[in-house]
Structure 1
Amino acid sequence: MKIFGASGHGKVVNAIAINNDIVVDGFVDDNYEQDSYLGIPVNNVSKTDKIIIGIGNNAIRKILAYKYEHQWHNALLHKSASVSLQSQIGLGTVVMPHAVINEAYAIGNHCIINTAAVVEHDCIVKDFVHISPNVTLCGGVVIDEGTHVGAGSVVIPGIKIGKWCTIGAGTVVIRDIPDYAVVVGNPGRIIKYNKGD
């Protein structure tokens, strides 16, 4: 397996691979002067390589996902994560240490469920979403494509968050959020909108 991204997030993805006894035989990175990372070669990807993205930026993950759509590794789950057998987890998704996914309906492709995040029952997390460390998604939450939920945020039950939103660290989301909104505070309030597609 190869990992896109020879930097901080790639380092964590590599640790999860080691935790699962998966051999990482290369990193792929656009820093062409870097020939190794963590003692592992940095090189190109071939058409036969299985790959996973070790890049935190949701938009970059989406670009790479479509460019290499037939080569993705299955979801990569740290052994300390608690994941319900009833959950569906998409290709290329990474579940970090001590995350909890309880009877979630579906986690999409190329998502990040970060350290100690909690995804409660009946949640839907769509493709390219990043759930940051210590986030709590209460039951029945829907997070649309590309949204980033900042560290320590709480989303109350039944809330729907649109696509490509940014939820600031520590935000408490108590009402539905439209596409592209940037939300901060307790209770969460929209302060601006991200640029659309």
Structure 2
Amino acid sequence: MSRWFACASIVAMRNIRIAIYGCGGFGREIEPLASSMDADVVFVSDIPSEHGSVINHIRVISFDDLISPQHIDREVVLAVGSSDGRRNLAAKCKAAGLRFGSLQAPTVRLLRDNKIGEGSVFCDYSMCTSNARIGQHFQCNIYSYVAHDCVIGDFVTFAPRVNCNGNVTIEDDVYVGTGAFLKQGIRIGRGATIGMGAVVTNDVLPDVVVVGNPARVLER
């Protein structure tokens, strides 16, 4: 688990230079959160054919460009859905001395006494109520919520409309699919995947996939 921050660096609230690492679907979804606040935004891609192109009116640069004097002052927001992918990119950026920023849509509600790690992304109409602790590089997609007293690890992904009720503990690298319901007080182990629409009423072991209502381990 990461160290905790009283509040993430919400780059959407400041005029700043931002590099969104990843210009796939999620990157293109979150770019307007920064651009609408008059931030200077670029995409970063590891795909050579995309370097120098323009996607959704935003320039695409390489990692080598990012660490050049022209761009190294930018705050990096990771826009990769895979927790492993985000973890690898975070290590790469940190080793290069880059800083991380966070994004928060104007429709987000973050209530009292939450502690949120750096690199978080809260998309439109998402919510975190009170007294939650959230690790680094959390992605909270549209209409998802985190209720009171939850503890969420690093590199956790919430797809759209995730319903995370109070006192839930989610370890690192967990993916929670669209429309899933997490019962109050359960624990989800590291690296687990919660399937789309799953209703999770019991603890989930690390590195398993659960699906259905009630959620059961998917046999492979």
Query: For 2:166, which of 129, 139, 144 is the aligned residue?
Result: 139
Output the TM-score relative to the length of structure 2. 0.83
Matched, 1:18 2:35: yes
Structure 2 counterpart of 1:125: 152
Classify the secondary structure of the residue corresponding to 1:33.
helix
Classify the secondary structure of the residue corresponding to 2:85.
helix
Q: Which moved more, 1:9-18 or 1:144-153?
A: 9-18
Larger helix share, 1 or 2: 2
Kindly indicate whether the alpha-carbon contact (under 8 Å) linking 2:23 and 2:44 is maintained by their aligned counterparts in 1.
Answer: yes
Kindly indicate whether the alpha-carbon contact (under 8 Å) linking 2:76 and 2:101 is maintained by their aligned counterparts in 1.
Answer: no
Q: Which moved more, 1:27-36 or 1:68-77?
A: 68-77
Structure possessing the higher relative contact order (Cα contacts under 8 Å, 6 or more residues apart): 2
* Percent of residue pairs bearing the same amino acid type: 31
Matches within 5 A, 1:1-16: 1-16=18-33
Kindly indicate whether the alpha-carbon contact (under 8 Å) linking 1:75 and 1:92 is maintained by their aligned counterparts in 2.
Answer: yes
Classify the secondary structure of the residue corresponding to 2:218.
strand
Output the TM-score relative to the length of structure 1. 0.92
Structure 1 counterpart of 2:117: 90
Whole-angstrom distance in 1 between the partners of 2:185 and 2:168? 5
Gaps of 5+ in 2: 1-17
Kindly indicate whether the alpha-carbon contact (under 8 Å) linking 2:19 and 2:75 is maintained by their aligned counterparts in 1.
Answer: yes
Whole-angstrom distance in 1 between the partners of 2:38 and 2:168? 33
Classify the secondary structure of the residue corresponding to 1:68.
helix
Letter aligned with residue 144 of structure 1: E
Whole-angstrom distance in 2 between the partners of 1:82 and 1:49? 26
Matched, 1:36 2:61: no
Whole-angstrom distance in 2 between the partners of 1:33 and 1:101? 39
Give a deviation string over 1:10-69, Cα, whole Å, max 9, x none: 111211112444221x21112211222122221131143321111111110000111112
Structure 2 counterpart of 1:50: 75
Gaps of 5+ in 1: none
Q: Alpha-carbon deviation of 1:7?
A: 1.6
Q: Alpha-carbon deviation of 1:102?
A: 0.4
Whole-angstrom distance in 2 between the partners of 1:29 and 1:192? 36
Task: Check 1:180–1:192 CA distance in 2 against 1; reply closer, same or farther (3 A cut).
Answer: farther
Classify the secondary structure of the residue corresponding to 2:40.
coil
RMSD: 1.4
Matched, 1:60 2:117: no
Kindly indicate whether the alpha-carbon contact (under 8 Å) linking 2:132 and 2:147 is maintained by their aligned counterparts in 1.
Answer: no
Letter aligned with residue 126 of structure 1: G
Q: Alpha-carbon deviation of 1:117?
A: 0.3
Task: Check 1:104–1:71 CA distance in 2 against 1; reply closer, same or farther (3 A cut).
Answer: farther
Give a deviation string over 1:49-103, Cα, whole Å, max 9, x none: 3211111111100001111124233321111011114111111110000001000
Whole-angstrom distance in 1 between the partners of 2:205 and 2:150? 17
Whole-angstrom distance in 1 between the partners of 2:139 and 2:32? 15
Q: Alpha-carbon deviation of 1:124?
A: 1.0
Kindly indicate whether the alpha-carbon contact (under 8 Å) linking 2:111 and 2:129 is maintained by their aligned counterparts in 1.
Answer: yes
Classify the secondary structure of the residue corresponding to 2:115.
coil
